[in-house]
Each structure stands twice: as structure tokens, then as C-alpha cells.
Structure 1
């Protein structure tokens, strides 16, 4: 039977019906796949792969990011122990404490640059394996330290490992997952960092000696090393290296048997041919770095990191115990610190889920405004507390605790997730490794700068002045984000690259059009 379509052409109904399996059909043998509300014929494969496989691969690739959080949280619990007299090691002053806090961030940028080169030279997987070695060595050196210099060197090695793991973990996740999962899974690294911070805070609250905490911390990069051996190399890197068959095998492992990996592999190859993607030479890398598609997103992310660091995020993280103590809050300083770590972890997970629904711009605005306001409130409280007469008890001590907890919530909703997620998706495939490393290098240099200068700011403008400065920077940053931060939610890596290279004018999805009916059936008639 045939009927007339809206265009006037004849459509064979039997051929049309053969394309879709009827809902009442009894399925025998090969199962029927579902793609949305459509039931495909037996043997057909989905375009989307197994979510479980992609989640597991992403989690295994990101275990090493927990080490970054532990590097951040360790000074908060170790420094108070080392500042106590008769601590069994040596009593340190605040400037030695600032070196313990900041030295890991000083070597992290070098780790970022090194991993950026290694990612494009030897691959994402092998780079993830190598990154764990300095981290393990650093923690073991701190655990066995007999001099302050050994702690310094250990912190530098831990920082080197932290810098090396950031970019490959995020780039691996960006390349190994499909667009519908990428936004959420790319935030796993930020969850790992928050989990690492909480781990150190919790161990410190249990009054475990700092050497034992360092020994326990070495187990995390050791586990990450094992997991890095178990995951496949990313399909994008294999295609850029000309290893087409290996890329298909990698896709099969990451997507599962029900996914049409041949279709995705063909799309990767077509994109590689269209953009002349291959394993680049040093000259090609330099040329690629100087293209708008590379330097424009770098400019945006570099300023993003600088703004969010000078909003006070890591001074609060690195000096949490000291800040709670200085605020005059009646709550136990260790309990308050652990509570901050728990809040940070919970809302990092919440933020990871909201990324897919809300996008990156709204969450960034939430951070910039929320962090700005809470820092100004904390600074104002500290100002009035400093004006108290000697021996006069501070009032409303719930204010600094509440301000710090709300600051933590605001910071993780955008600042601690969004820019790290964007590292894995905004750069061209040809230089994604190098630019990812350069961006994380810039980010961690900003961390070193703000953590090292925090004690100096305390001396120059006092505690409340430092917090006022951080709050002002965050609020002013809102204007930069409004005008320059693009929204990448739901867009493919190819869409994002085309946007930054100038091939498209916007990343906004086109508005749906009202499509005409494909088939018009005469009134009173029904499909057989």
C-alpha cells in the first residue's frame, strides 16, 4: 500500500513500517535496541555507549586527583602540629609554615607543563601512569622526614605529581566520554580534589600525627597507579597517531557491545581528516598554540583561575584551622574544618550534577557573587573583632563559621569545578595536551601566588583587609565572566573547536523549527 506525502511524492508504507519494530512484536533472539522512544530492529546498535563503562573509566583515570586535594589539605593539619612547642620534631614559625603550605604549588606548574608535553608525545594513559611516581615518593619522604628540608622536598614532589595528574585526568575524561556524559564526568576531578581535602581534614581531626597522615596519603597515588594500567588509551589520541584499529578497540572497551563504534570511529576519522589532525611535530605544536582556537580559550581560563584564586578559595583551604582559630568562633577548630571539608565534598558532587542541567555560566556567577559577599562579611566581622578591648569576649561567633561554610558552598558550585572541566573540552585536539598542561600550570602558579602572599597580606592590611580584598576581586570578576565566558553545555568537542577558531559565531544551540509533517493521511483514513 502507498500513500501520498505532504510533498506530493508517493511513500511505500510497507517499506516505512519495516524500519521500525512494532511495540507489540515478540522479540526472539537478538534484542531490540531503544533509541529514545524508537524501537530499532534486531541487530541495530545505539549511538550512545554504556554509561557504566564510561563512568568507571573516568573514575579510574581521576583517582590521582585525590592527591591534589590531599596536597591542599595537608598543611591545614600539619602546620598547627608543627607550630606547637615540644612537638617531637621542631617548632616552626609562620614563614616556615608558609613554605610548607606553598611549596607544593611552586612545583605544580612544572608538572603541568611536563604532563602537557607527555600527553601528546606518549599518550594520555602512559602519562597518567608516570604522574603517580613523584607523588608516591613525596609522601613517603615526608613520612620519614628528619629535617625541615626533607618536608620541603617531599612537598615539592607531591606538588609535581599533583601538577602532572590534573591535565591528563581531565583530558582523558573529555576524550573518553560522549557529550551527554562529558559535562558531569569531567567534574569528577573536582570531586576527587574535594575528597582529598576532606581526607586530610578528617585525619587531622582524629589527632593523627602528621607523619602518619603522610604515610596514609601515599596509598592514594599507589592505587591510582594500578588503575591507570587498566584503562584503555583514548580513541582521539589513537586516531591522531594514525592507529585506527586500536582506536576502534578502545571505543569498544569504552562504549560496550550495544554501541555503534564504527559510526563514532568514522566521525573521529572524518574530523581528523577535515582538520588535518595527526601526531604533531614540535613546529606544528608551536604553530597550533599561536592559533585563535588555542590562545583565546587560554586567555579566558587563565583569567578565570587568577580571579577565583584571589577570591580567597585556597587561603581558606590551606589555612583553614588557623582561620577558624583567629575568627574567635566557639566551635572546635578541627570540627569546623572537617565540617567545611564535608560541605565542600557534598556540594562538589551537587555541582557536578548541576553542570549538565544549568551549564557553566550560571554556576560561575553563583560563585563570583557568593564568594564575594561572604568574604566581605567575614572581613567585616574580623574588623569589629580586632577592635575589641583586651579580654572582651567576641559576640555573634556563629557569623564567621556561617560565612566560611557559605563561602565553601559558593566556591565549589562554580569556581572549583567549571574551569577545570573546561580544560578538557575547549582546546583543539592537536594541542589539547600542551594547552591543557599550560592552563593547569597557570592555575597552580596562581595558587602558589595567593597562598604564599596570604601571610604577607595579613602583615600589610591585617586579616580583615585580606578578606575584603578577596571579596572585591570576586565581585569584580563577575563582569569578566558575563562578557567573556562561553557556555559549552551540550556541545561536542568539534562544535567548541569550530567556535574558538572562528568557523561559527556562537555556541548557542539553534532554536527548534516547526517541521512539516512527513506523511499526510486523508481524513477518515488510518495507517494499516
Structure 2
């Protein structure tokens, strides 16, 4: 293995620490919710629990807007270093809080940190790595998030909220202490006309002395982006809705993000302990939660391993029906239970089919949308597209978690699950009709296809 690959692997390893921390925050509510009012000194209502889950996603929406202010001033590296401030502070609030409002503050700060990470980390990795490592480093993001979720399940179920927060805080601290020694993105340095440091960064990251070709390519990228930066934000937003390929790209993004958010994964994972307790299956709730954590990691790893062979669209078309059947089966179980049928012989159904649902979700609907979104938008609309996508993600996830909580209290668990079943089926149909394959195509080929099919 040459020096360049070793150094880019090192970069990927250090950056993975911050992404895993996002997974810790994403999964934190699952082992913590059962502790409230039962062992944890904090007493919370079901409405407050829903907001504890939701406020992180609101924070993600806020955090995703911050990079557009910071990135071009302090760089990709500087922005990621700043991200550790809300991340470390959030764990302090979450661990030490003795009242619900302080937990709220911690969750919003966590979301802001994750929102910045989601926006900047793929860009930093893309600009610091070579063509050989760019793909693997980029697609690993969803898997690393899932690993973070599994870790918080495995650790958090057995220890107190305070201990869990203090252990989790080690992740952003470790990232800060190691990432500070890594170089800035050569694209940012070139944009600031610091060609000497840009060349030095390329030589170190690629492990070779002659980087003239790579430096020329970066100059072309910067020149192209500078032309787009002359457009005002209003003109960029106008570009989304006036150009045929941008309209189609935005429609594809909404379909895929709906598969990520509206199919019920956030509330099902957050409130899964209640689902298992309601079913009364003999396997403990903690064991069931660990099973879902393992399932989503295995599914995401499989997706990353085979996506180049199968293409992204096929994986989506396989994953969606798995989720539809799983949701319908769980909903049927709880509806039969609610109307008085004896389902004692089938208490295993919710646990088994939640795991199957998570396998389907982790196999396609979770990792693939972000990969598509990075490919389908032209350079001139990347900024407004990122803003709109982040806001849609935050609003739709917040709405679906609150919807689950209200419907479950009014009618029972089966009511929101039937809704998720219908939405997932609709998303499946829309993917079949409107989402093209992009695997193995250049960005230019994708744009030509989007323009031609409008």
C-alpha cells in the first residue's frame, strides 16, 4: 500500500470519529427514553419525550445553514473544528441536566453539530482524497452513523444518562485533538490563492512529489465554482425552478428524502422499547434494541459493498417493499391485539419484523438518498439545494416523530404504522417511476440525462 492510500486512510479514520459521534446523538434517545421516570431522576411527559427526540432534528436544520457562513471564511477544516464546540457542550448539557429545558438545549446543540458535520465532512473528504479513495470514504458515512447508533445502544442500555454522556463526549474531544494536525482542503487553499500550501497538502495527502496535474484540476474546479458564486442566492434559487434538469433533480431529492424520513424510521427506532413492551415478547427489550442496532450496521455495510455492482436504484427497489411488508405485518399484529384477538402465540412478530424493517431501511432507504443528492444537482444550485434538502429533512422528521406520538396515544401503535406503510408503498412507486440510475455515470452524464428526460 502506497503512502498516499495510508495517509488518506488515516484521514478517513480521524474523520470517522466525528461521524460516529453523530450516530451516538442519533441513537441516544432509544436507550434513554425507557430510563425517564424509571431510574433516571428526570421526570418527563410523553409530549416532552417527543420534543427531546425532535429537537435534535430541528438543530440539524439550523446547523446545516451554518457552513455557508463559515466555510469560505475559515475553511473546511476550521469549520469542522468549530463543530466540536456544540458537540462537546451538548454532551455536558445532556449528562448534567436536572430539568427538561436543559435537555432541550443539549439536543438542539447536538443537532447543530451534526448538521454542520453532514454538510461539511463529505466536502472535506471529497477535496482531500484521491479518485481511488473518494468513493469508499464518501459512502462509508451512513455506515459510520449506524455504528455510532449501535455503540450507544450497546453501552447506553446498561449505564446512567450521566455516564453515557461523559463516555460519548470522548468522541468529539478525540476528534479535536487529532484532526487539528490534518491539512486544510487544497480546494479552499487554492480559492484563497494560497497555491504553495495547496501544493504541499496535495503532496502529503497523495504521497507523491509531482502533483501538477491534480493542482490544475483543482484550479479548474475553483474557476467553475467562482463563476457560480457570482450568482446571488435569489438567482440560485430561481435556477432550481426555471431549469428543467434542476426541477427534476429537486423532485428526485424529495422522493428519496421522503423515503429517508417519512417511512417512520426515526420514531420506530426512538420508541422501539415501547413497541417491544407492548407486544410482551419473552426476549428482553434490551436484547431487541441491540438486534436492531446490529441489523442496521450489517445492512448498511452490505449496501456499501455491493452498490457498485447492483447500482443504487435496484437497491432502493428491493429495500422499499421489505419495509412495506414489515410495517404492514407489525401494524396488523397491534390492530388485532387492540380489538381483542388472542395474539399470545405471535408476540415475536413485532421484534422480528422491526429487525427486518431496519434491515430493509439500512440496506437502501437510509444510505442511498445522500449519495444521490451529492450527484444530481449542478454546481450552480448546490447551495440552495443543500439548504432546501436540509430544511425538508429537519421539518419532515420532526413532523413524523410528533405524528407517531400523537396517533399512538389517540388510537394505538397500529395507526401510525399503517400510515407509514402507505407512505412507504407510495415512495416505492415514485422511485420506480421517477428515480434514474446514476451509478457508474459522470456528473456531466447525469446532468444530460436529467435535462433530456424532462
Common fold by TM > 0.5: yes
Alpha carbons 1:112, 1:438 under 8 Å: kept: no
Distance 1:79 1:157 in 2: 19
Q: Does 1:399 align with 2:353?
A: no
Cα deviation digits, residues 417-440 of structure 1 (max 9, x gap)? 111233444444466456435423
**CA 1:433–1:230 in structure 2 vs 1: closer, same or farther (change >3 Å)?**
farther
Q: How many residues are aligned here?
A: 449
Query: What's the counterpart of residue 30 of structure 2?
Result: 76
d(CA) in 2 for partners of 1:414, 1:60? 26
Does the Cα contact within 8 Å between 2:336 and 2:343 map onto a contact in 1? no
Give 1:229's aligned residue: 180
Higher helix share: 2
| 1:52 correspondence with 2:6 | yes
Deviation of 1:401 after TM superposition, in Å, equals: 1.6
1:204 touches 1:334 (CA, 8 Å); kept in 2? Answer: no
Aligned to 1:287: 235
Asked if the contact 1:241–1:279 (Cα under 8 Å) also holds between the matched residues in 2, the reply is no
What runs of 5+ residues in structure 1 fail to find an aligned partner?
Answer: 1-32, 34-47, 507-528
**Which one is further off, 415-424 or 360-369?**
415-424
> In 2, distance between residues paired with 1:304 and 1:324?
29
1:186-227 CA-to-partner distances (Å, cap 9, x unmatched) read 122112211121122112332x01121112111112222234
Structural RMSD (CA): 2.8
Which has the larger Rg? 1
Check the 8 A contact 1:180/1:490 in 2, yes or no. no
Alpha-carbon distance, 1:452 to partner: 2.1
Match of 1:316 among 268, 278, 282: 268
| Aligned equivalents of 1:290, 1:240: Cα separation in 2 | 26
**Structure 1 residue 240: deviation in Å?**
4.1
Instruction: Indicate the residue corresponding to 1:18 in structure 2.
Output: none
Query: Does structure 2 retain, via aligned residues, the 8 Å contact 1:138–1:157?
Result: yes
What is the alpha-carbon distance in structure 1 between the residues aligned to residue 69 and residue 249 of structure 2? 19
Residues 129-528 of structure 1: pairs in structure 2 closer than 5 A? 129-206=81-158, 208-257=159-208, 261-273=211-223, 275=224, 277=226, 280=229, 283-291=231-239, 292=243, 296-388=248-340, 394-429=344-379, 432=382, 435-493=385-443, 495-496=445-446, 502=451, 505=452
Taking structure 1 as reference, are residues 364 and 56 closer, same or farther at Cα in structure 2, changes over 3 Å only? farther
Q: After the TM superposition, which of the residue ranges 197-206 and 239-248 deviates more from structure 2?
A: 239-248
Q: For the Cα contact (< 8 Å) 2:142–2:366, is it kept in 1?
A: yes
Structure 2 unaligned blocks of 5 or more:
none
1:24-103 to structure 2, matched below 5 A, reads 50-84=4-38, 87=39, 89-103=41-55
Conservation of the 8 A alpha-carbon contact between 2:18 and 2:172: yes
TM-score normalised according to structure 2 size: 0.89
Instruction: Give the secondary-structure state (helix, strand or coil) at the position aligned to 2:229.
Output: coil
Partner of 1:154, secondary structure, is helix
Report if the CA contact (8 A) 2:236-2:384 is conserved: no
CA 1:265–1:484: 2 relative to 1, 3 Å = farther
Distance of aligned partners of 1:276 and 1:411 in 2 relative to their CA distance in 1, 3 Å threshold: closer
Deviations 1:367-417 (A, max 9, x none): 22211111111111111222336xx67212222222111111110111111
Q: Is the 8 A contact 1:170 1:186 kept in 2?
A: yes
Tell me how far apart the structure 2 counterparts of residues 60 and 383 of structure 1 sit (CA, whole Å). Answer: 47
